[in-house]
Amino acid sequence: MPMTPTARLMDGTRLARQILDHSAATARAVTQQTGEAPCLATVLVGDDPASATYVRMKRARCEKAGIASRHLSLPAATTTAELVEAITALSEDPGVHGILLQHPVGAHIDERAAFEAIAPHKDVDGVTMRSFAAMSFGLPGFVSCTPAGIMRLLDHYDVDLAGRHAVVVGRSAILGKPAGMLLLARDATVTYCHSRTRDLKSIVREADVLVAAVGRPRFIRGEDIKTGAVVIDAGYNPGNLGDVDFDAAATRAGLITPVPGGVGPMTIAMLLSQTAEAAALQSGLAPADRLPASSG
């Protein structure tokens, strides 16, 4: 007999809307003050359809929020040097307030070198080493958007993290790794799991808070979710499938994010929030010691 879902849904679409409204208000203030709308430059390398969709979604949200966007589409054969040069030009362009390089780029490109060409004050996607270090030390700076969105969801649903066992499955530079650091900063006891982890299931079963960021559809089974756990599904697999077997997990979890409608919309909302904040900082409208994560 099918089990009844017991978990409460964490509605990322609704919370993202609130953050987008706040970002639009900040963008309006910048435009009134400077006569120029905040501007996000988006850079896409190659023709991966999913990446093109995400960039289109980001630009559409920008337009709705009164944020201008400038798009640079580069061929798949672009070299690291050419990409670094293009991003450096955007970093030096005073008309651009934020830069997004859509991940992933082709395997022949040194993605880290390309990310590092983003000027720190324009790193609204929170992908540079400097942004990661600032986040890890609790200093002002921009935070990688999906982890920032996850923290906003946890706060919105009043999840107390201190002393809880948070298990992050995945260790990518823009998702798993920073998510763990943010949870640690909130006094959670953090375990990172990855492809070489032994007996993953037994660790997942101990998670009070589980962040699934593996990139494998329905990789986390419902039977491995601890009763009452908070389950954050940060997966974005083809066909709008998350990393968690949602139906089964929802019969055991206390709180759970759906896919779609959970972490995804929060990722884009945080990008716009940080873009509006970057423009406000660059035009002297916001104090430089204000943490972007507190806006919206």
- The residues of the shown chain that bind ligand LMY7XDAE, judged by CB under 6 A, are 54, 100-103, 125, 145-146, 174, 236, 240, 259-261, 264-265, 267-268
Residue in 58, 122, 177, 226 annotated catalytic: 58
Question: 126 among the known binding-site residues?
Answer: no
Question: 186 among the known binding-site residues?
Answer: no
Residue in 125, 208, 233, 243 annotated catalytic: 125
Contacts of 294 (CB under 8 A, 6+ apart): none
- Is the CB of residue 271 less than 8 Å from the CB of residue 27? no
Instruction: Write down the least CB distance from residue 182 to ligand LMY7XDAE, Å.
Output: 14
Whose Cβ is closer to ligand LMY7XDAE: residue 3's or residue 76's?
Answer: 76
Output the CA torsion sign for 214, 23, 142, 191. Answer: negative
Whose Cβ is closer to ligand LMY7XDAE: residue 62's or residue 268's?
Answer: 268
32 carries an active-site annotation: no
- Greatest Cα-to-Cα distance within the chain, rounded to the nearest angstrom: 62
Question: 171 among the known binding-site residues?
Answer: yes
125 carries an active-site annotation: yes
* Residue whose C-beta lies closest to ligand LMY7XDAE: 264
102 carries an active-site annotation: yes
Instruction: Write down the least CB distance from residue 126 to ligand LMY7XDAE, Å.
Output: 8
Whose Cβ is closer to ligand LMY7XDAE: residue 47's or residue 206's?
Answer: 47
**CA distances for 162 relative to 143, 175, 183, 270, angstroms:** 21, 21, 9, 24
**Residues at the annotated binding site for NADP(+)?**
170-172
List the catalytic residues.
58, 102, 125
